A and B are shown apart, each in its own frame.
Chain A
Amino acid sequence: MWRALHIGAVVIGFFAFWQLAVAVAHPPEYLLPGPVAIFREMASAPLWYLGHAMLTVGSTLLGFGAALVVGCLAAIGIVYSRLLENTLYTLLIALNSVPKVALAPLFIIWMGTGLSSKVAISFLIALFAIVVDTVLGLRSVDPDAIDLFRSMRGGTLQTLLWLRMPNALPHLFSGMKIAISLALVGAIAGEFVASQAGLGYVILSAQGAFQTTRVFAAIVLLGILGTLLFFIVDLAERLVCPWHVSQRARHRGAEPSP
């Protein structure tokens, strides 16, 4: 709660300082508009901005969702199959050094300028973070717990379901927090390369016309969206794994007697 207020105060302070600086220095508006001008621009066509924003969020969420599903399945495969570890995992790590944004034009060629190419780029850029963290989580199981499951005659499936997967959840969420931000980057990159809609398109087309206020409006919207998406993942983590060390302080109840 205090943390949220703290962040809010800093952000508001930042905008206030910016407005003040613009009011004092009077830079030309095509170089640096003030926050008031930016918010006025947004308010002038709220539905238009909302439509573009929803499209970008749509590509982001579809790409992120696909990365989540495929990433988790791939991670399970990699952990249980030496062959997949030696092929798929090695390939993923090798390909990760290629900046995924550089692949965006390829996807436009393959899939056209519509939604699917943005989703694909978003998926690809988010996938790595999910796979790597989930593999780590599935692997970093207490050996004593493995022994416990063996002593209880737990098979591979039970060990996966009741030990490895819950154990991997906190790791998966830290991967998801990175992946959701990256997915947004992927969607924007796709829109930059070729598109008729989305916040990336708004930025690019406004830049061509020197409508700097509009560029800023789209950037502010992207900032808000990115923050919102991150906090949704964060909230999901608190709901899904309240047991985890990083969450304990938040809802520690009465101290037990020894």
Chain B
Amino acid sequence: MSEGAAFLDIAGLDKVYSSRDGAIVALKNVSLSIGAAEFVSLLGPSGCGKSTLLRCIATLEQPNGGAIRLHGRAVRDPPDDMGMVFQRDVLLDWLTVIRNILLPARIRGLPLVEWRPKAMQLLELIGLDGFANRFPWELSGGMRQRVAICRALLLNPALLLMDEPFGALDAMTRDELNLELQRLWLDDAKTVLFVTHSISEAVFLSDRVVVMSRSPGRVVETLAIDLPRPRPLAIRETPEFSRYVARIRQIFEGFGMLRGSHVRA
């Protein structure tokens, strides 16, 4: 994977937070290479630095050392062709659904008329046509997060960063959105970096799962998930799927985690 110029290349990344109780090492020498159109999950318990890593790539945080290269160029400002989905949908209450989706175009000063059809198409793709002129508070949590995904996809970014996007949803809505996300990705493969603390969600969605551990936050192992796509939800009951889940659980247990269970399967 790391041969040649990767789409996204992270090398020796360090991030230290200073707090009252001294320095907290959020990321220690994290290196990772991600290919174009690859779906990669960052998996680990809270405090393993997976969100910090994502935020460093988005330049929402500045690393203390190491380098992040996108298309071979060092990332300094938020990348132009990046979309981001947060754990909370962060829809703007005062804008209708369609205007929320059009926000990235508005911020860049692009003509909204030209992007409207694309926004409508995204809404339709994700099963929310007919909700274009509703306000966010009229929508359920799952619907809101769908709108947030549409917003991130509007300008057709090559890189999609997702920071525990389904963490606040109930299990069934979460399954549904996992399926939708897979479908969107199969339709139009983008590089996706997906932060989660659910082992089965990571295995279900990803081409590769990057397993992280904490204190200090670091990459413990990278696991390729070789399961055919499209993957139905029922794939989670197959022995192949269970082997991946069991393998990851062993890694966590090897680091003294999951005995008191920090990570959900």
Contact = CB atoms under 8 A, between A and B. Distances in A.
A144 B134 contact: no
B185 interface: no
Contacts of B131: 256
B108 A144 contact: no
A151 B104 CA distance: 10
Contact of A241 (B55, B94, B136): B94
B93 A148 contact: no
Contacts of A245: 137
Interface in B61-94: 77-78, 80, 82, 84, 86, 88, 90, 92-94
Contacts of B258: none
B84 A162 contact: no
Given A151-B84, A153-B78, A162-B103, A256 B134 contact: yes
B221 to A, nearest CB: 29
Contacts of A145: 90, 92
A167 to B, nearest CB: 8
A151 B78 contact: yes
A169 interface: yes
Interface stretch (B138-146, B195-203, B210-218, B245-253): B138-146
Interface residues of A, number: 28
A82 interface: no
A152 B103 CA distance: 9
Contacts of B78: 150-153
A114 interface: no
Contact of B60 (A147, A158, A169, A243): A147
A153 B106 contact: no
B16 to A, nearest CB: 20
Nearest to B82: A151
B241 interface: no
A136 to B, nearest CB: 17
A166 B92 contact: yes
B103 to A, nearest CB: 7
Which are the 5 A-B pairs with shortest beta-carbon distances?
A: A151-B84, A258-B140, A154-B107, A166-B94, A243-B94
Interface of A: 142, 144-145, 147-154, 158, 162-163, 166-167, 169, 241-245, 248, 252-253, 256-258
Given A150-B58, A243-B137, 13 more contacts: A147-B60, A148-B86, A149-B107, A151-B60, A151-B82, A152-B84, A152-B108, A162-B106, A243-B136, A256-B134, A256-B138, A256-B140, A258-B143
